[in-house]
Structure 1
């Protein structure tokens, strides 16, 4: 009983407001009160009104809202609704929404504190949870766009996804940048098609614009240097391939005359300074055919040494795996003729491009994030936790499936793993996904990178993981007081089980859990989910424009791998992509790698899914710890020749949004 103060917030996107009337109803523990048709929501506005309620409602549980229309259904994007109880000291309740309200259906918004099944001991939200989960399973159905790949949310176009998944401001920006990229591509193609390129530096012609800050500050020849080649394994666009050697690889073959090299490798191995990058995942993948011309793939093995000054230098490159009954593969060395050694490194960088884009970026960075929407109601704290880190991901993933890796897509047009090989590579890589590989403390320790001081990726990934873990732990401690509360939360258990058994096609034999038995396990699993969608994606996304120039990362190779150590500049140029392929590669890399104008840094999302003071305090500490790390990285980078910024919190995006 008494006067309630109600505030309604509408989103900022172009069509967020509505000319339709909205009616509200307050639902409390002891009753409910209809407030009538009170507003026509205005874009980017907070509207406030007061209503006198005669009923005694008690603790508020829900706001029910209904948007009515006669002729035109004018959708409304509601941010949140706030209700303050009677009197000056009345409690204020926040009801988060952050979704489109369409049609005439009644939408029930639960109060935003967050509530697990165990906490809802009186069953106040039981019916709501069940109905919402049923609706979500219909809305987000499992699909399988390619047999043998991890599952995705079904949909063949953006119109198949809920409106909430790709707001028009993001859609407009994405489509505008794509149109600009295609226009730039057309101009460059029309001019360069008459060009006669005789040297790798001639590829500069396709850099009329779109240089990244880092790529622009390097002198042209630097990409050829061994130090830059080694540095990229530590801190480049794909730092997830490097491993500390504990023995010489079984498939490393030493042809006659390489005894001195073998002794050098053994010396580095004993000294703990030998590393390797193994591309054997590419072995047997069928290469593309482009313009009726067979393209070529190799599966290199690179042996590297870590010097006392932190530089990582390649010692030997083997471009293919040995075959029984065949001539042993060549070992390419830094002492070989310059063009021979350069060509071998180009083959390695082309292989790196394939594994980065398909395995590290698309599979591990994008496709892993599509299970949460089905299995948790919006009142569950895990849903509230993860939903900001999934913003735009479904739409971006669908665009990738339709435009990049589809039939006649970009990969089929210009990439050596296109034409079906890229899908075989995805399947092969998907079958090797392990839980530990998504958790930097475990992954970096397993591969011996924690003590490598010049691996700024390893240092920053570990620090950001630890900060994120403390954030997760802070929220979990507010809701799960005991391990029993974790085990008894059947919504949590169903979410975990569905990700592992269904979404990942039965990945429990590779360490992914099918249940969570303790608070520590929940914290680890949720941190993995958030880090995968934020820091891990950032570490493999932000470096594309810096490192994936056509010379440093050719998308395909036109000639077969060399069988002798006899190479010329003409052979190098004939092996690298054509003018048209190079131009298209750089246009796509610009589209994927550019800094986004609509960008939300990690933890800085405006959406407030949690309403309790305790939750807000945990988020505040998370942001403060990020600011400290951000400043430390900034100070460190001032003393580096090549600053490493891909895990700097102010540059890490809050979700996989591109």
Structure 2
């Protein structure tokens, strides 16, 4: 007779405990245990750790799976149980970790695999192979692709967060926060009384007054007052089309700083409105939210939980599906906040998004390549570049040490069929099979895999923080970032006045609602998991655990450097401080 000591860890979350009966069965390479009920009398409570002894006639061999099964108490009381993990001490003296971190429904089964990651061709045990295939089949039924708009990346085929499994959803607190805080921001900003006013602003001074108490040095109107680098502004036909003017008119004068004050200011306002459209649709929506969703769906559909890349990427894809579903229903839907209060919404958004997708390249997503292509290596005081490059290097260092632990040679990359299906779906569903994008459709070398995975993590964490976190700082002063304009660009010089500017700027309601949305999107998340934070214990191998520690130390050192620099700056750049960067696209 041999004994297996089993510890079960109930999660620390709302309603994690259960009254249901939980059954367990161990399976090894040599034999399997009898099914055993764990809580016939005592229930599982939140944050509780329970220990059990499982007696077997002989050693089961190397543990392959743990099966959990739930039955309702008395056949009547149906409730879920959230299990964090299970650890098992074997008769041979080994301690094996089985990560779970998911809900177990009544009359449902869960099959858990050991924490040690493995590639598909390394899973030689027949039971492991079948479990691996079963998991992928179930995931592909659960996560399906659909076309959001022709010529743009495909998205997950879910229209409501309720159809997502709980493991990739927000907690109730976070979900409630997102749904209701947008309206509350008007009250927080003390602007609720202005939300229904369709009047024009009486003067710039009146507009400046609403910033008082709602701003900082960045959005102080006296600091930049709608500035634009460069001596010339030409309202080109293509830009005019995006802004809603007549696309067939080619009377587009070139505006200069030597023109009248009103002409020059109005020209810059139009450019900043175009910046709002391009930034929100191309750099924010497409290059972070939609691409992160592509990476997420491809990962969940093609990489089982035992795959090392699934373990590496899961913290960076956790909440992306829900935040994007909510964005599509609350922000960019027909009656969403962006569509109702911005010039770029509905058909205009889809049109601009399609153009941006058609011109998107792999090099634009890889920061070192992007900086080089734009000739920005030596621009002074460019903190996005400085902090971003350091973050890129830290992520790359981590990935370049992590992946070779599992892929010993290029041949291992080539014969990983799960990995090849993963990148193939990203290429076809996300980048629409465009060879001109430079995105690989397969991986032949470990070096190229390391670069691509670095890009994925950087996009979902640092790049999203860079384009998202400062939106209110730079857009709270509306003329610097107008969401919509009410008049077309001027066709003649010398005709504009201050009244023309006020008539062109958004009305009071559009202004304050736009401010509220930007404030919400820039707000710190209730459930903030900073880059490098791994809340789940997914590893029990020495090498990946040590690499995670080194990664966290590198990020901590970078945070200190950034904070020391920022202490000396009148206008600190905080958005890429690792402490402020979310692990995933979660807001």
* Counterpart Cα distance in 1 of 2:124 and 2:475: 55
Counterpart mapping for 1:42-57 below 5 A: 42-57=45-60
Partner of 2:287: 364
Q: Note closer, same or farther for the CA distance 1:633–1:605 as it changes in structure 2 (3 Å cut).
A: same
- Once residues 392 and 246 of structure 2 are traced to their aligned partners in structure 1, the CA distance between those partners, rounded to angstroms, is 35
Q: Find the counterpart in structure 1 of residue 84 from structure 2.
A: 79
Contact 1:281–1:429 (CA<8 Å) still a contact in 2? no
Note the alpha carbon deviations across 1:150-199, whole angstroms, 9 max, x for none. 10010111122222221323213323424523666896245883987322
How do 1:343-492 residues align onto structure 2 when only pairs under 5 Å count? Answer: 343-370=266-293, 371-492=298-419
**Aligned counterpart, 2:153:** 150
The reply to whether residue 587 of structure 1 matches residue 516 of structure 2 is: yes
Contact persistence 1:3–1:50 (CA under 8 A): yes
Shift of 1:628: 1.1
In the alignment, which residue of structure 2 is the partner of 1:271?
none
Aligned positions of 1:502-517 closer than 5 A: 502-517=429-444
Runs of at least 5 residues in structure 1 that lack an aligned partner in the other structure: 234-260, 266-275, 288-295, 299-322
Change (3 A) 1:571 1:283: closer
Contact kept, 8 Å, 1:279 with 1:351, in 2: the verdict is no
Question: Offset of 1:386 from its aligned partner?
Answer: 0.7
Q: TM-score, normalised by structure 1?
A: 0.82
1:179 and 1:84 map into 2 onto residues whose CA distance is 52
1:35 Cα deviation (Å)?
5.2
Shift of 1:607: 1.0
Partner of 1:270: none
Give matches, 1:38-437, under 5 Å. 38-39=38-39, 40-69=43-72, 70-86=75-91, 90-123=93-126, 125-166=128-169, 167-181=171-185, 188-190=192-194, 193=197, 197-207=201-211, 211=214, 213-215=216-218, 219-224=220-225, 226=227, 229-230=228-229, 282=239, 284-285=241-242, 287=244, 296=245, 326-327=250-251, 329-370=252-293, 371-437=298-364
Moved more, 119-128 or 29-38: 119-128
Shift of 1:280: 8.4
Report what 1:607 is aligned to.
536
Rate the CA distance shift 1:494–1:533 in 2: closer, same or farther, 3 A: same
* Distance change in 2, residues 1:505/1:174 (3 Å): same
The whole-number CA distance in structure 2 between the counterparts of 1:46 and 1:363 is: 43
Task: Measure the CA separation in 1 of the matches of 2:234 and 2:94.
Answer: 59
Structure 1 CA distance for aligned equivalents of residues 83 and 418 of structure 2: 26
Cα–Cα, structure 1 residues 213 and 358, in superposed 2: closer, same or farther, change >3 Å?
Answer: same
- Distance in 2, matches of 1:634 and 1:286, equals 39
8 Å Cα contact 1:189/1:583 also seen in 2: no
Residue 524 of structure 1 corresponds to 451
CA distance in 2, matches of 1:422, 1:591: 21
Q: Distance in 1 between matches of 2:199 and 2:490?
A: 27
The offset of 1:593, in angstroms, is 1.1
Deviations 1:340-379 (Å, cap 9, x if unpaired)? 2222211111111111111111111101123221111111
1:565 corresponds to which of 493, 513, 527: 493
Q: Distance in 2 between matches of 1:613 and 1:482?
A: 21
Question: Residues 134 and 543 (structure 1 numbering): CA distance in 2 closer, same or farther, change over 3 Å?
Answer: same
What secondary structure does 1:368 align onto? helix
Shift of 1:279: 8.8
Q: Distance in 2 between matches of 1:141 and 1:192?
A: 40
Change in 2 beyond 3 A, CA 1:400/1:53: same
- 8 Å Cα contact 1:297/1:417 also seen in 2: no
1:413 to partner: Cα distance:
1.2
Q: 2:167 & 2:217 partners in 1: Cα distance? A: 35
CA distance in 2, matches of 1:194, 1:448: 44
Q: Find the aligned partners of 2:573 and 2:583 in 1 and give their Cα distance.
A: 19
**Contact 2:186–2:192 (CA<8 Å) still a contact in 1?**
no
Structure 2 counterpart of 1:619: 548
State the number of aligned residues.
Answer: 575
Is the Cα–Cα contact under 8 Å of residues 194 and 512 in structure 2 kept in the other structure? no
SS at match of 1:505: coil
**Counterpart Cα distance in 2 of 1:33 and 1:205:** 72
Q: Distance in 1 between matches of 2:579 and 2:500?
A: 44
Partner of 1:309: none
Q: Deviations over 1:611-647 (max 9, x none)?
A: 2111110110100111111111111112222111111
Cα distance, 1:486–1:447 mapped onto 2, change above 3 Å: same
